[in-house]
Amino acid sequence: MIAASRRPSGPIARLVLLALVIAGCGATVPPIESSAPTPTRPHVTPAPTTGKFVATAYPAKGDAPCREKAPPDAAHGAYTGNLKRIVAADARTVVFELCGPDVAFPAKIADPAFGINDTAWLTAHIDPKTTGPQAITTAMNGTGPYRLEAWDRGAEISLARNDGYWGDPALNERLIVRWDPASQGRVRELQAGTADGIDEIAPDGVEAIDADVSTISAPRDGLEVVYLGVSNTVAQFANEGVRRALAIGIDRQALVAQYLPPSAALSTHAAPCALPYACTGAASYDFDPALAKETLAAAGYPTGFATKIHYSTAPSAAIPDPAALAQALQAQLETNLAITAELVAEPEGTYQADVDSGTMDGIHILTQDPAYPDVSASLDPRLATGARGEAGKPYDDIVKALATGRSTANGAKREAAYKKANDAIRAHVPLIPLAAVGTNAAFLADVKGGLASPLHQESFARMTPSDRRQMVWLTTHQPPGLYCADEVDLVARLVCGQVVESLYTHEPGGAAVLPSLAEKCSPDADLVTWTCTLRKDVLFGDGSRLDANDVVMSMAVQWDADHPLHRGDSGDFATFQSLFGGFLDPPPG
């Protein structure tokens, strides 16, 4: 249910508000007022009856209450989000005002959750008076290279080429998305030629693909990093020479090859190399047991010492057998460095909190998966100002370099900053990266342009399945819905990304961002105001024309928990909440 509003409410007010929202496509609100704060926030105001574009804003009057210290009333919680206001300055210009700087804003809005919908489509396919999944979860009206042709429940989703697409047309006439929960079944279909590409292949399937000349594997670059961490506030690990000896004396390649999935790639840096700027600067130390012993002796421990290896008992896709990995590390420390380590297994439910406290008396094994595809999301939670305490006392030069990296949108300056950060990480060794763990996809060998995306956002429109007119993609399961503002399911997001476009997108097979519906989004010097210029003459599938008000509305229905159209499938809108810090008008608690 929609939480109680801070504004005048009741049946009449709700009906008036809904009527005003419905007028949003081609009709708009009165001119934008100043951004001065106001006690109440009338989010939607009457639309004119003429067809002339008049800019909207959200909230329509005033800013969102950034850094709200306390709930405003019993019906709402305090606002913790980083969006202050969204303004349609004119038909092709949208201005995002933030509460604080965010260099990763383009990477965030490239997420399929922020696909732009036509305002009239939203109001026609979301009913504030009903509960449960809305009509929009099974229908799409996007601006992308494909359009939804049919969803045959339990069988397949058919996407046809969008002949009115603003960009380069899809290289195939149709994309068929099917599913089979069994990896072996997917491999058999690829080998039989009934699928052009398949996803999420088990290790034995990868071997079969590689042995078949008609198929080719497509490793998906990993964003999740497996690493060994230590706190510089604990015993011997306060000594930088000890930490460096560990980095040199552990045969990381052997651990990765034997105890991590086949899709794991040996890390050269602390962050996954699929992220832009992540792997500038010097690479991790090579394995050299003789040098490691010398380094440890120079640090004052010629005969080693005793420590502990902490690990979670819960297996994961990235660490299938954590006990075996810990035992192998234990053996290496004894053999290579004369370090004896007691194994300490901990339940998953408390393990992360114990790591974050920075008081673990030894080495800990952990994974880290960035919340969004920017290097800051990988390094900052562990090593920047305000990071969790697992590394102990902050390393000033690392902190400074990371702060510089997230304070500029200039590519050359970011690259220079992360080079300094990586060099300092290598020198101080606050952690030892083992591998970036991805997954495996595969294609028929005759498919041109077959690239697996680290974000599970394949660019099928750029793929050519030889002389076949359609591309068939076989994945793991049927998506729960197709309104990706309210979906976190990877298959749903994959399908959404082919049809409903965001302002930015990601390069084929990579994590770098590229303009999509926006020609560009430019920040101010403080990275708190991002001005986005939309492409000209972009049409939705139903012929409606994209304008800035569609961007405002598409974001507003996610942002405001009190918005009458804040509904979809579950109603969680989890991606918005995760990437922008919280809802406007959040429920209490």
pLDDT digits (tens, 9 = 90+) for 56-96: 999 998 999 999 999 999 999 999 999 999 999 999 999 99
| pLDDT at residue 45 is higher than 70 | no
Judged on CB neighbours under 10 Å (0-12, 13-18, 19+), 467 is: exposed
| pLDDT at residue 551 is higher than 50 | yes
Residues 574-589 have a mean pLDDT of: 96
The closest alpha carbon to 138, from 556, 483, 424, 396, belongs to: 483
Distance between CA atoms of residues 475 and 481, nearest Å: 15
| pLDDT at residue 134 is higher than 70 | yes
pLDDT value for 51: 66
Judged on CB neighbours under 10 Å (0-12, 13-18, 19+), 331 is: exposed
pLDDT value for 530: 98
| pLDDT at residue 2 is higher than 60 | no
DSSP string across 146-192: EEEEEEETTTEEEEEE-TT-SSSPPSSSEEEEEE-S-HHHHHHHHHH
Q: Which of 40-49, 418-427, 555-564, 567-576 has the lowest mean pLDDT?
A: 40-49
Domain residue spans of the chain? 11-135+498-580, 223-233+267-282+305-436
Considering only CA atoms, give the Rg of the chain: 26
- Segment 564-567 long-range contacts (CB within 8 Å, at least 24 positions apart): 564/2, 564/14, 564/17, 564/18, 564/21, 564/128, 565/21, 565/122, 565/123, 565/126, 565/128, 566/2, 567/126, 567/127, 567/128, 567/134, 567/486
Task: Please provide residue 173's backbone torsions phi and psi, each rounded to the nearest 5 degrees.
Answer: -75, -25
| pLDDT at residue 3 is higher than 50 | no
**436, 275 in Cβ contact below 8 A?**
no
Q: Which of 51-55, 158-162, 372-376, 481-485 has the lowest mean pLDDT?
A: 51-55
pLDDT value for 25: 37
- Residues with Cβ within 8 Å of 143's Cβ and at least 6 positions away in sequence, in order, are 116, 165, 166, 500, 501, 517, 538, 539, 540, 541, 546
pLDDT value for 385: 85
Give the HSE-up count for residue 159: Cα atoms under 13 Å, Cβ half-sphere. Answer: 32
Distance between CA atoms of residues 28 and 256, nearest Å: 57
pLDDT value for 477: 98
Distance between CA atoms of residues 339 and 293, nearest Å: 10
| Amino acid of residue 280 | T
pLDDT value for 40: 34
DSSP string across 58-118: ESSSS---TT--S-SSTT-PPP--SEEEEEEEETTEEEEEESS--TTHHHHHTSGGG----
The closest alpha carbon to 157, from 492, 500, 461, belongs to: 492
Alpha helices in 373-445 (DSSP H): 375-383, 396-405, 411-428
pLDDT value for 35: 33
pLDDT value for 11: 33
Distance between CA atoms of residues 263 and 279, nearest Å: 19
The sign of the CA dihedral 99, 103, 106, 112 is negative
pLDDT value for 9: 34
Q: For all residues of the chain together, what is the average pLDDT?
A: 91
pLDDT value for 26: 36
pLDDT in tens, 216-254: 999 999 999 999 999 999 889 999 999 999 999 999 999
Look up the CATH architecture of domain 223-233+267-282+305-436. Roll (3.10)
Vertex 154 angle, CA 152 and 156, to 5°: 50
Residues above pLDDT 90, as percent of the chain: 86
Q: Which of 53-57, 138-142, 507-511, 584-588 has the lowest mean pLDDT?
A: 53-57
